[in-house]
Structure 1
Amino acid sequence: MIRRLARRAVLPLTAPIGSVRQVSSQQPHVVLTYDDGPQPGATERVLESLADSGCTATFFVLVNRARKHPALLREVQAAGHEIALHGVDHVRLTTLAPQQVRLRTADGKHRLEDLLGTEVHWFRPPYGAQKPSTYAAIRAAGMESVVWDVAAFDWEERPAAVLAERTLAEVHSGSVVLMHDGYAGPEDGVDDGPAPTFDRGELARLVCAGLAERGLTGVSLRDALAHGKTVKRAWFRA
């Protein structure tokens, strides 16, 4: 009880400097976000489903993958989606020294901007792992930290329909939904086991259809903020 009361007292004070977790808007918008791409064979399927559904999304990309698949990165951009930074690779930043985090974050931003030809505003730390020093590095690089309030748990080996049902049960207007168009592996500096085999394009289709049935629209963070404002909360986890 004491911890809960303390959290309620602290959160309003930290909100102005917190991480983006939701969007406040009069529009029935849900922010769709995708991590760990671009990944050939999966990103294209997600893009196709989003286009068919009339949804947009923010793609948090890994720089090393973006450099390896620049045509696919340009395809995401040309389709009208927003591109943001997820890291140079997928190494958990909370395991690194603060100076190294600052250098990697700033370097990743510059390298991604060189690929895109536009400024990058948002950063999502791999695994959502963030310490105060990690947050400070993101802000020092001129970006804002973006996390989520609904996760699709699409790193699990489950049917797309099950993952969509779980996601839609939690979603509401203003939610920021975490999904993936890729799956980080050894090439990204991590080993989280074998990638799930479900169709990520099918999951995108089911989520967008379910949102429409609820009178909601999936949009990128950029598109949501054309009609609303960010809701920030303190977010620190190892």
Structure 2
Amino acid sequence: MRCLSFGFLASLSIAVHVAHAAAPCSKPLYLTFDTGHMGVAPLIAEVLNRQNVKVTFFAANEPTKEGDGSLGDHWAPWWKARGAEGHAFASHTFDHVYWRSDLPRGSWQMRPTAGASKGQTEVWTSQRYCDQLQLANTRLEQITGVKPLPLFRAPGGKTSPSLLTAAKQCGFAHVGWADAGFLGDELPSDKYPNALLQHRALSNIRSGDILMAHLGIWSRQDPWAPAVLEPLIEGLKAKGFCFATLKDHPQFKTWTR
């Protein structure tokens, strides 16, 4: 019997490794983060790197514990590093604008929580809303060098059919989250401690779910991230789940490409 050469065996080993690494994700989850006060953003980034998990960030220029807003110059290097790591980005409206109600003739009552109109309820046209969606993506691309996805998440997930139609007409599809994917980091920690949120997520999350958390929540006393994040990722991996960004989500794949 002829002996196989070392070179052949090495090549075979590399080929098997590459094939294994490129194996399709059969039980995908889509972990997403909305901006917030950014206080736990560096720790979240460490966990994602350690676990080799790619996520989609929905960004607005929200007030932060440190620096000049979540899309300001202070945090620009943080975003640039996430772009280099292969994460995806999308709009959360630049001024973190909440939909309040529909008005006649294609307008809406909106309430920004950041920017020049912070805390004011105003009448917005579709053009003004579209400009807000694009402004966040323009800033993200400027600081990351990565073209964001043509997706957005309305703050609080609050929308109306007419608002979603207007957003689609200017090129943006809305992304919500699965019921089980609401990871609860904005709930009061006295009633929803981290252990309960982790157990609930591990019990209820199913393949294909979009998961949602934040880069910092002002109101929660016992921060969900990063304390729950790594055990949750490890627990989901142990159940056979894997992680992908929204550019690979079946519902949005055609839209984003």
State the TM bucket, normalised to the shorter chain: 0.7 to 0.9
Name the count of aligned residue pairs. Answer: 194
CA shift in 2, pair 1:130/1:44, >3 Å? same
Q: Say if 2:52 is the partner of 1:54.
A: yes
Give the aligned partner of residue 251 of structure 2: 230
Unaligned segments of structure 2, at least 5 residues: 1-23, 62-68, 101-108, 111-123
Cα displacement (A) at 1:37:
4.4
Indicate yes or no: 2:176 matched with 1:155: no
Structure 1 counterpart of 2:237: 212
Name the CA distance, whole Å, in 1 between partners of 2:148 and 2:37: 16
Could you tell me which amino acid in structure 2 is paired with residue 61 of structure 1?
Answer: A
- Larger Cα Rg: Structure 1 or Structure 2? 2
**Match of residue 160 from structure 2:** 131
CA distance in 1, matches of 2:85, 2:252: 27
Q: Name the one with the larger helix percent.
A: 1
Indicate yes or no: 2:71 matched with 1:66.
yes
State which of 190, 198, 220 in structure 2 corresponds to 1:164.
Answer: 198
Equivalent in the alignment of 1:119? 147
Q: 1:85 to 1:196 in 2, by over 3 A?
A: farther
Counterpart CA distance in 2 for 1:167 and 1:196 is: 20
Percent identity, aligned pairs only? Answer: 24
Partner of residue 236, structure 1: none
Q: Distance in 1 between matches of 2:221 and 2:28?
A: 28
For 1:77-107, what per-residue CA distance to the aligned partner results, in whole angstroms no more than 9, with x for missing partners? Answer: 2222111111112231343223332332233
Query: For 1:179, what is the secondary structure of its paired residue?
Result: strand
Which residue does the alignment assign to 1:198? 223
Partner residue of 2:87?
Answer: 81
Q: Which has the higher contact order (CA 8 A, sep 6+)?
A: 1
Distance 1:35 1:153, change over 3 A: same
What letter is aligned with 1:211? L
Task: Give the CA RMSD over aligned residues.
Answer: 2.4
Structure 1 residue 199, shift from structure 2 partner: 4.7
Q: Partner of 1:142 in structure 2?
A: 171
Unpaired runs of at least 5, structure 1: 1-24, 186-193, 233-238
TM-score after normalising by structure 2: 0.67
Letter in 1 for 2:167: I
TM-score (norm 1): 0.72
How big is each residue's C-alpha offset from its partner over 1:31-84, in whole Å with a ceiling of 9 and x where there is no partner?
A: 101112471x31111111122222211111113511241111112222221111
Q: 1:77 to 1:118 in 2, by over 3 A?
A: closer
Residue identity in the other structure for 1:174 = G
Q: For residue 204 of structure 1, what is the amino acid of its counterpart?
A: L
Secondary structure of the 1:202 match is coil
